[in-house]
Amino acid sequence: MFDSLSEKLDGVFQKLRGKGHLTEDNVKEALREVRLVLLEADVNFKVVKDFVAAVRERAVGQEVLKSLTPAQQVIKIVRDELAMLMGEGSDNALDLAARPPVPIMLCGLQGSGKTTTCGKLALQLRREKRNPLLVPADVYRPAAIDQLKTLGRQLGIEVFDSQVGQDPVEICEAARRYGELNGFDTLILDTAGRLHIDDKLMAELERIKASLAPREILFVADAMTGQDAVNVAQSFDERLGVTGVVLTKLDGDARGGAALSVRAVTGKPIKFIGMGEKLDALEVFHPDRMAQRILGMGDVLSLIEKAEAAIDKDTAADMEKRLRKEGFTLDSFLEQMQSIKKMGSMESILKMIPGAGKQMKQLKDMQLPDKELKKIEAIIRSMTARERRDHRI
């Protein structure tokens, strides 16, 4: 995630750290380089201009330049301004305070990941003790309804029955009636992908909005499209009044333009980020944590949250008792490996540890840790029960 952006910013700050004493010219030169790095990452030009001006105003002062660690002070200012740029301090929680079932409408371009995001969001809401109903309102893409039904089966979440050729507005209205009768408290509406210049399909979304009055209208944007995603989000907002943004595919080679520009340009908060294809790979967006990740400072809080979600307390306590009683066995080692795998790839875990992200460059020429873990798991599973109990055999 943002590897190229992080690497280039680290190079700029490395030069600053190498200077014991900073002059005003040193800071201005560094900010010129930061400006170029952000523009290369496809961040909106006006956003970059305002960001650099805000950092310069705070960094070029006697208090910073004469401090014992001027370079660290400048980096802290950049981190603070990055977090502000992405919406630190604003409330990005879903607003579901309405009479159930509360409709949430997802919209966006074709191929941005709306249908998969619907499944991920349903899982997230179920973890929050809600009872969501998935509503397939994309009647134009032949596989869209089947895809959502497949996701529903995988998650054990009900999907409303709709057919290709039905009117999307009628589907949503029927789903609301069904939700009221069957005790669902949230409707997740999966709408068809469309271009913002397609007036007929945009009018269809306006009809759904007028009919169901969704509490949340989330624009799903592909983070790999950079600034284009921001421009499209702005167009959707003008027609629909978008309440938030979901950035998908952030685990890929995203340049950062969308994440750093969308809040400043549209005024709408980023509510969630998609960090992979797995259905549990949807994270609540935290601007301060994202700023730390971009600057290579890690994200310990998210790492702790992942560990708490992946490792059951009772299972961990049971394992501790067995380790004290039986000592170390390959069975317990295998259990621990499987718990770590639930947290995501080794690469994503290491990037959350401060300083470990830089070490990932050295692993590029080596075999990936995940592949090594698969080999170890296969070896352990091929052993007999006796061999697993006593690793000295």
Contact 294, 6 (CB under 8 A): yes
The token duo for 346 is 């080794």
The confidence score (pLDDT) of residue 293 equals 78
Q: Are residues 130 and 34 in the same domain?
A: no
Which residues have CB under 8 Å from 307's CB, separation 6+?
Answer: 343
- The dihedral built from the CA positions of residue 378, 379, 380 and 384, taken in this order, carries a sign that is positive
Q: Are residues 196 and 261 in the same domain?
A: yes
Q: How far apart are CA 269 and CA 43, in angstroms?
A: 16
- Asked whether residue 170 is domain-assigned, the answer is yes
The token duo for 119 is 């499944």
Q: Are residues 280 and 351 in the same domain?
A: no
Q: How far apart are CA 105 and CA 233, in angstroms?
A: 14
Q: Name the domain boundary from 260, 291, 322.
A: 291
The confidence score (pLDDT) of residue 104 equals 92
Task: Pick out the chain residues at pLDDT < 70.
Answer: 1-3, 18-22, 61-70, 253-256, 297-312, 344-348, 350-370, 391-393
pTM of the full structure? 0.74
- Asked whether residue 302 is domain-assigned, the answer is no
Q: Are residues 34 and 116 in the same domain?
A: no
Q: Are residues 142 and 74 in the same domain?
A: no
The confidence score (pLDDT) of residue 366 equals 47
Work out the burial of residue 357: count CB atoms within 10 Å of its CB; fewer than 13 is exposed, 13-18 middle, 19 or more buried. Answer: buried
Maximum pairwise Cα distance, the chain:
71
Domain tally for the chain?
3
Q: How far apart are CA 36 and CA 84, in angstroms?
A: 20
- Asked whether residue 319 is domain-assigned, the answer is yes
- Asked whether residue 114 is domain-assigned, the answer is yes
Q: Are residues 169 and 234 in the same domain?
A: yes
Contact 355, 380 (CB under 8 A): no
Q: How far apart are CA 281 and CA 119, in angstroms?
A: 11
Q: Are residues 165 and 63 in the same domain?
A: no
Which residues have CB under 8 Å from 31's CB, separation 6+?
Answer: 52, 55, 56, 59
Contact 258, 230 (CB under 8 A): yes
Q: Are residues 239 and 173 in the same domain?
A: yes
- Asked whether residue 165 is domain-assigned, the answer is yes
Per-residue pLDDT tens over the stretch 24-56: 777 788 888 888 888 888 888 888 888 888 888
Spell 21-51 as b/e; 16+ CB within 10 A means b: ebeeebbeebbebbbebbeebbbbeebbeeb
Contact 130, 186 (CB under 8 A): yes
The confidence score (pLDDT) of residue 320 equals 73
- Asked whether residue 207 is domain-assigned, the answer is yes
- Looking only at the bridges linking them, the beta strands covering 186-191 and 132-137 are parallel
- Asked whether residue 95 is domain-assigned, the answer is no
The confidence score (pLDDT) of residue 309 equals 66
The token duo for 166 is 């039905």
- Asked whether residue 42 is domain-assigned, the answer is yes
Q: Are residues 128 and 246 in the same domain?
A: yes
251 C-beta neighbours (distance < 10 Å), count: 19
Residue of 318, 104, 94, 301 lying closest to 217 (CA atoms): 104
The token duo for 94 is 């879903």
Q: Which residue range forms the structural domain that includes residue 239?
A: 102-291
Q: Are residues 267 and 383 in the same domain?
A: no
Contact 254, 49 (CB under 8 A): no
The token duo for 154 is 């995988």
Find the CATH number of the domain harbouring 125: 3.40.50.300
Find the CATH number of the domain harbouring 51: 1.20.120.140
Q: Are residues 318 and 192 in the same domain?
A: no
Q: Are residues 225 and 142 in the same domain?
A: yes
